[in-house]
Structure 1
Amino acid sequence: MTFKLWISNNLPEINNDIMKFEILYQGLINLIFKRTKGFKILIIQPNNYNNNYNNFDNYYNNWLNYSSLLQNKFSIINLQKLNFNYQVKKGVELLFVNELSKLFNLLKQYVLNLRHLIISINFGNKLRYSSQVIILLSQFIESQKNLEILEINDFWDPRKFSPIFDAIKSQKKSLKYLYLEGLKNFVPLLNILIYCNNLEILNLKGFAQMEENINFNFNFNNNNNNNNNNNNLINLPIKHLYSWDVPSYLDINDMGLLLKMINLSLITLAIDKVIDNNLLEIIKNFCPNIQNLSLGLFNTSFPEILPSLIYNLPLNHLYLDIFGYNFSDVLIDLTNSIPSTVISLYINFTLLPNQLDYFLNEMKAKPKILGIIDKYMIKNDHLEIIIKYAKIHNNNLKELHWFGNLDDEIIKDNMNEAKSIIPLICYPIYNFLDSKINL
C-alpha cells in the first residue's frame, strides 16, 4: 500500500502499473549500488515472465539496467562470484549481443578477481550469434587472475573450435572445478584438461548430440588396455568425476580415455549410464583408489565384471542403479562384492523381500546409511526386513533414505516402528557425491 501511494504521487503520468513497478525497481537497484561498500556476489537472472507485451517490449523489462553499474563501478571491484543466466528470446538475439557486449566490456575492466563464474545462455537452436557471445565470454574469462570455479553450458557452434577452450586454459593454474553442460565435442575438452594442473573436480552433464567428422588434434595413445602400455598418457590430477546423462556413444575411446588419464587420482566417480562393459574394465584396471562410486547400469545382460570391480575398491559410499535384471543368478556374487568399508549404500534395483534379507545380512558391510530408491521395494514387506536388520545389528543403521511417502497409511505402523529404531528416516538425500567437495 505504501509503495502504491508513492508511485501514485511520484509517477502520475504513467498509467501502466508494470512499468511503474519497473521504474521503482530500478530506483531501488540504483540506491543499493550507491550505498554498498562492494558486492561479493552478483546474480544476473532476468525473469522470463510472459505478458501481453511483444518480445521486443518485454526484453528490457527482463534486462539489467547497466546505468547502475556504470555509475557505481567500485561496487563490483571486489566481486568474487558472478552468476549470469539468460534465455535469449526469438527476435532479440542481436539486441542481446549488443547489451551483453556492454556488460562484459565493463566487467572485464573492473572485475579481475572472480573466484566463481556461472554462465548459462540458451540460444535455442539459433547459432548465428553464439560465436560473438563466446568471444565476449572468453575475453572476460581470460581477464580473470584467479578463477577457481567455472560452470558453463555449451551454447556455441560445434562446427568450429570454440575460443572458450583457450579461455579455460588461461586459468590452468587456478581452476579447481569445471562444470560443462550440453557438451557437443569431447576431444577439445581432453585437449585443455592436460593443462589444468590443479583441477580437482570435473562435472559433465547433459551431453548434446555429438557432431561427427570434426577433427581436432589429439596426440595421446588410446589404443591400449593396461597401465604398462599407457605410460605415454598424461596424468590428470582430477579427484572427482561426475558424468550425468551420458549417451551410449561415449565409450572407451573418449570416456575411457579420460578415466585412463585420471588413473590413480580418482576418488569419486559418478556415471549414470554405463552400457559399454569395456568401460567397467577400464575403471577396474586404472582407477583402484575410488572411494565414492555411483553407477547406473543399463547393459543388456548383467555385467560379470561388476562384483570384482566393487570388491577391489576401498569404497566408503556406493550407489548402484541396476536396471532390468533377475538377481536370482547373481545375488550371491553381488552380495559378496560389497566391501566392509562401505558406510553408505544406496540400492536402486529390485530385490524380493527374501533377496533383500539375504543381501543385507550376508554382505560384509554394515552401512550407517541405507538408501532404498527402487519404487518396487517401497513396500511393507521390505520395510519389515529393514527393521529386522536394524535390530539384529544393534541399531548400527543411523539413517534410512526411503524413496516413498513417509506418511503412507499402508505402511504407517511399520514406519512408526522403524522411526523408533532408526534415528533418521527421510526422503533420499543424495549428498555423498557433493559436487563442490572441499571448495
Structure 2
Amino acid sequence: MKKTILLVMVITLAIMMVFGLAYAGGEKKGAEKEAAEKAPEKAPTEIREIKLYHDNPEWQSFWEEMGEASAQDIGVRAVPTAFETQVYKSRIKVDLPTSRAPSVFKWWFGYRAFELMKAGLLADLSDVWAKVEKNYPPGIKEALTIDGVPYALPFNVGYWVWFYSKAVYKKYNLSLPKTWDEFMKQLEFLKSKGVYGIGNTIGKSRWTSFIVPMELIYRVDADFYVRLMNGKAHYTDPEAVKAMEIWKEMLEKGYFAPMDATYVEDLPRMLKEGTLAYAPFGDWYGGILQQQGLFPEQDYGVFIPPPITPRGKDSIILEISPLCAGKNSPDLEAAKEWYVWYAGKHSAQILWEKLRFVNTVHITADEIKKGDPTLAHEMDLIKNYPNKMIRFWEATPVEIVEYAVDAFNTMLVHPNQYMVLLKGIEEKAKEVWPKYGVNY
C-alpha cells in the first residue's frame, strides 16, 4: 500500500506544483542574474570524463556539444552514448548494478524511476539540489523527489499538444476545429484531398503507439483517465471502449500516415510539404522539427484538439523528463560537479538554442517569444487548461504500460481487434495492481 500512496503523491506534486511554472523564467530576472553560472576565464588543464546515456539518437550532437562545453567550463566532459529506446531500457537495468553504471542517464519519472530507486540504483542528489535549487521554478525539485529524496534534475518539462502543418491550413484555407465533430469532418476533408491526417505510426519507435489512445481516453473523460492510471477504473469500462471505438473508426477511415513513417525524419518533411496535417507529441517535438529545417509559425503551429465529451474539457497531458545518476558509477562525484554546471546559465542557453527546452529561470519570456513564437503561443494556450495529467508512460505501472504499448501497436494494423486487446490489457492490470497494494 505504501508504494501506491507514494506514487500517487509524486504524481500529485507534479500536477499541482510544477507544470504551469516551468516557463517562469521571464518573471524571475533578478533571480536569473543571481543564479547564473559564469564560465572560468581559462579552460581547465585536466579533463575528466563521465558517461552519459540517453535514448534519443536525434539529439546525439546536442549532447556532444554539451559535453565539450562542460569540459571547457569545469573540466568534466559528459561523453554521450545513444541507444534505441527498447534497447536502452534493458541496457540501463543491466549496467546500473555494476561499475559500468552511467554517471548521468536520461530516464522517466513516476513508476519507472520508482523501481530503480527501490533497487538502490539511483544516487541521492540532495547535495546538488542544495546548490542549484534557486535556478529552477518552484515545484521542480518536489516533482523529482521520492520519499523525501531528490533523484534527478529536469531535462525537459513540457506539455503534449498537436503540431499542425501551416502549408495544409494555408492551401485549403482551414480554421482550427472548435468541436470534436469539426475535427473529424476536417480529417475526412483532408483525406479527400490526398492529405494524411495524423502522424502516429509504428515507424522505428514502438513506444509511440500509446499516444493516440491516451489522447482519446482523456478527451472522453479526464477523471476516468486519472482513475484508470491509478487502478481505480478498468480498461473494459465504457469510457475506454468508447475511446478505442473512435480510434478504430479513425484507423479504418484512413486518417493516419503510412505506418512505416518515422517521427524524426518522415513526419517533419510531410508537415513541411503539406502532405500531413497533424503530429501529436510533447512540445519537445518542436526542437526536432526545427532541427529538420522547419520554422515555428511559418511551417508549423500547435493546437489542443477539442474534447470528445464535456468530461474531457480543460485537460492536458504533461511530461517531465529527468536526468538521473547511477549510484554505482565510479565517477559519481565528477557527475555531481557536472550537474551543478548543467543547472547553470551556459547549459541553459545551449539547451534553449539547440532543443528549445526551458527548464530553469535562466531563459526569459522575451527570449522564448523571440526565439520560438510557437512555444510562446503554447504557453498562452495552456493557461486555459487547468487540469494537468501525467503522461501514460509514467503514470501507471511499467508492466501495464509495456503490455499496453504492444497491444496498441497491434491495434494500428488490426483495429477490428480492439476489444480483444482491451481485455488483454485488463487481464494484465488485474495481475499487476495487487503487487502495488491496489485492490483491483
Q: TM-score, normalised on structure 2? A: 0.19
Return the index of the structure with the highest Cα Rg: 1
Larger relative CO (CA 8 A, sep 6+): 1 or 2? 2
